[in-house]
Structure 1
Amino acid sequence: MRYTCNVDFDALSAIDMHVHYETDTCGHNSLPDEYLDASAKYFKGIDRLPSIEKIADTYRQLNMAAVVFTIDARTQLGHLPNSIDDLVAGCNDNNDVLIPFGSVDPRTGQEAIVEARRQVNELGVWGMKFHPSVQGFDPSAREFYPLWEELSALGKPLVFHTGQNGIGAGMKGGGGIKLRLSNPLLLDDIAADFPELTIIMAHPSVPWQEEANSIAIHKPNVFIDLSGWRPKYFPESLVRFASNALSRKLLFATDYPMISPEVWLGDFQKLEVKEEVHPRIMKENALHVLGVKGHSR
């Protein structure tokens, strides 16, 4: 199965750049049960494991597209991810609204490079997702540079979790997850050394928002997705820069199913962000990051 996109980008109201596919058609989940349970408690009252069909229906009804992915953290968690092939097949069945990103475990070395190449070239994923804290690696470490070099050559954007973690929250020792690995400054090295590689820093990077702002302003190849936090809780500096220095760098993103698009949008409309910037955040910046032909900034 290779993904073929059938999204009518001109007709869309928005593109959600951060949506999780947490369980495959065989019932295998992305994370061990205790981590899923802890994150469900952290985000409160959500359907933690929506099917790919429910995800598609949610966004179809809203006239939005969604970038969908999972996380491969097999080394750190001792748990195989849910199937990337299954994710791609589900996105292809709903290719009017869903766009698949892949994921590999950087700690598997050459195997990760080979698998990343397969996911891009054979499955047709449009990008890759990484979570340094959950995957247990320092993205700036030189041992991972061959992977970034390969992905830069493949020309696909990379999403990296940054900031605080809902995964492991409340568990003993935070489930062994180390927050420092999600400091956005660790991504600055990659952005500098691989200037052709598009990097998306996922989430407001609490407690390092000033660092994230600076990197996105300084590096043309770095963007920020606005997922994982209801906009009413966004750091003040992020909101302030949204209308000026970061207006071309911010991406609408929810972290669905943790936060619904409706809740996110309800909050966002109340922020002091210039009205003329809204279309950029909701769709135009995403079209640029995704490399959609016929759309440029």
Structure 2
Amino acid sequence: MINLDDIVAIDMHTHAEVSRDGHPSLPPSLMDGSAAHFKVAGERKPSIADIAAYYRERRMAAVVFTVDAETATGHPPVSSDEVAEECAKHADVLIPFASVDPHGRDAVAAAARLAALPNVKGFKFHPSIQAFHPDDRAVYPVYEVLQEHGMVALFHSGQTGIGAGLPGGGGIRLKYSNPLALDDVAADFPGLKIVIAHPSFPWQDEALAVATHKPTVHIDLSGWSPKYFPPQLVRYANTLLKDKVLFGSDYPVLTPDRWLRDFDTLDIKPDVRPRILKDNAARLLGLVPDA
């Protein structure tokens, strides 16, 4: 179990990019393209044990997940079962999220089975890679399962580095990741805990509107260096959303070291900083009782 007194931060957004047998999380073309986009030099495929050691050294905990987009990409994912199994070996620092293919015939059954695993706290969706609109009623039975089990549903939002710069963007379509679609999800599933991942370029105001209007919607700050955050995001993080904004890096493409170094330069109120770095995530993940 995670001892909150022993850690300084909870990173809500890290990726399991390789399986135990070396299978990558994305097709090689998309993996190589994203590495070029993010200017990632060298090896980018830490094992889950490597992730645990990395965060343990920094006295941080981290949420780890994969993305099941097999229908859209034709590429089998890193198994959510494997992510849960490997994270269980490092329960002092790692929290697994699962993923299901929203187009899969067994998506509802898979969601129910994975949500019942004792250490899984949530599910990751990437609408652009998985090629689905989050407010598509066909996916609602999956959300019903997640709400019933008290899961967190974390959705990529805005532009993505996956496919960026490739011909046709690697076939990845940005339209699926407009965070306004999550307003319908939050309205129809008022008990579902939702995280809008990333500064939602070019829909930052939409994300802020949904998060301020719907009590269960949060925003994680992953994927961007804080020095590039839009000013309205910083303003809302300091005020109306101070209890709903979450630290996330996007490791391994963006390290928490880089993120935290740039976060230190932001004009964040002293009482808000620990909420963003640890307290809000601890409450959302059920590591402390909800006030």
TM bucket by the smaller chain?
over 0.9
Check conservation: 2:115, 2:146, Cα contact below 8 A.
Answer: no
Match of 1:203 in 2: 198
Q: Aligned residues, how many?
A: 290
State yes or no: 1:102 paired with 2:76.
no
Q: Percent identity?
A: 52
In structure 1, how many angstroms separate the alpha carbons of the residues matched to 2:115 and 2:220?
22
Match of 1:55 in 2: 51
State yes or no: 1:28 paired with 2:33.
no
Query: How large is the Cα RMSD of the aligned pairs?
Result: 1.1
Q: How does 1:1-297 map to 2 (within 5 A)?
A: 6-46=1-41, 47-109=43-105, 111-122=106-117, 124-293=119-288, 295-297=289-291
In structure 2, how many angstroms separate the alpha carbons of the residues matched to 1:118 and 1:10?
32
TM-score, length of structure 1 as denominator length: 0.95
In structure 1, how many angstroms separate the alpha carbons of the residues matched to 2:137 and 2:88?
35
CA-CA distance at 1:11 after TM superposition = 2.0
Check conservation: 1:288, 1:296, Cα contact below 8 A.
Answer: yes
In structure 1, how many angstroms separate the alpha carbons of the residues matched to 2:142 and 2:85?
25
CA-CA distance at 1:286 after TM superposition = 0.3
Check conservation: 2:108, 2:145, Cα contact below 8 A.
Answer: yes
Q: Deviations over 1:166-207 (max 9, x none)?
A: 001111111111101000001110001100000000000010
Find the residue that maps to 2:5 and give its secondary structure.
coil
In structure 1, how many angstroms separate the alpha carbons of the residues matched to 2:122 and 2:83?
13
Check conservation: 2:95, 2:119, Cα contact below 8 A.
Answer: no
Find the residue that maps to 2:103 and give its secondary structure.
helix
Deviates more, 1:114-123 or 1:197-206: 114-123
1:99 alignment partner AA:
I
In structure 1, how many angstroms separate the alpha carbons of the residues matched to 2:211 and 2:254?
24
Consecutive unaligned residues of structure 2, counting only runs of 5 or more, are none
CA change 1:123–1:288 in 2 (3 A) is closer
Check conservation: 1:88, 1:123, Cα contact below 8 A.
Answer: no
In structure 1, how many angstroms separate the alpha carbons of the residues matched to 2:266 and 2:83?
34
Check conservation: 2:115, 2:121, Cα contact below 8 A.
Answer: yes
In structure 2, how many angstroms separate the alpha carbons of the residues matched to 1:52 and 1:269?
28
Q: Deviations over 1:249-273 (max 9, x none)?
A: 1000000001111100000010111
Check conservation: 2:88, 2:119, Cα contact below 8 A.
Answer: no
